[in-house]
Amino acid sequence: MQSGYKIGSNDLASTYGVYVQKVRGNLDFLKRKGETAHNWLDYNGEEAYTDAGDIHFEPRDILLFCYIKADTKTDFLNNLNSFKAVLEGPGLHTLKLPFSSSILSVYLKDGGALDMLTGWNSSKLVGKFILKLREPVPKVASVYEYAGSGNFVYSGTATLGE
């Protein structure tokens, strides 16, 4: 049984019958926002803005390709509605992925369509859907600080842009 995908403290599989097939976006390179360089007319090349104070990132979108399954129509609808209530609720939700030590703060960005793979009278009900979550303040995996003489030293994990 799949485990380790959590919203808040709830495991998606054991609490809601929701299983994640694929995750996209959580490991993508972040897109910088604002000016990243200036091209002076009287200089060759450009002046790149690479100082820590000049670097800011856009929010990150994370897609979860999921399916939900249950043995009865009642269980299916109860699990689906409970899961939707959590995601559609106010505030940011913590997302934990089993292959990452990071805990992401996300909200449900876009609604999604439930595509039923079985009929409503089947012995097991299965539906698939895609969740589009947004991490409004993306976490940067590691931060390196300039130590002089062309050397950078690891200073841990941080969130940039705050």
Does position 160 have pLDDT exceeding 60, yes or no? no
What mean pLDDT is reported for the chain?
86
- Is residue 114 domain-resident? yes
> Domain total for the chain?
1
- Is residue 102 domain-resident? yes
Does position 16 have pLDDT exceeding 80, yes or no? yes
The SS3 of residue 74 is: helix
Asked if 81 contacts 109 with a C-beta cutoff of 8 angstroms, the reply is no
Full residue range of the structural domain in which residue 57 is found: 6-159
Q: What pTM, to 2 d.p., does this model score?
A: 0.79
For the residues 56-82, what does the mean pLDDT come to? 95
Give the tens place of pLDDT for each residue, 94-142: 999 998 888 999 999 998 899 999 999 899 999 999 999 999 999 875 5
- Is residue 1 domain-resident? no
Count of alpha carbons within 13 angstroms of residue 77, beta-carbon side = 4
- Give the total residue count for the chain: 162
Q: The CATH number of the domain where 51 resides is what?
A: 2.40.30.200
Read off the DSSP letter of residue 53.
G
Query: What pLDDT was estimated at residue 146?
Result: 47
Higher per-residue pLDDT: 42 or 155: 42
- Is residue 116 domain-resident? yes
Three-state secondary structure readout of 113-128:
CCEECCCCCCCCEEEE
Backbone angles phi, psi at 102, to 5 degrees: -75, 145
- Is residue 21 domain-resident? yes
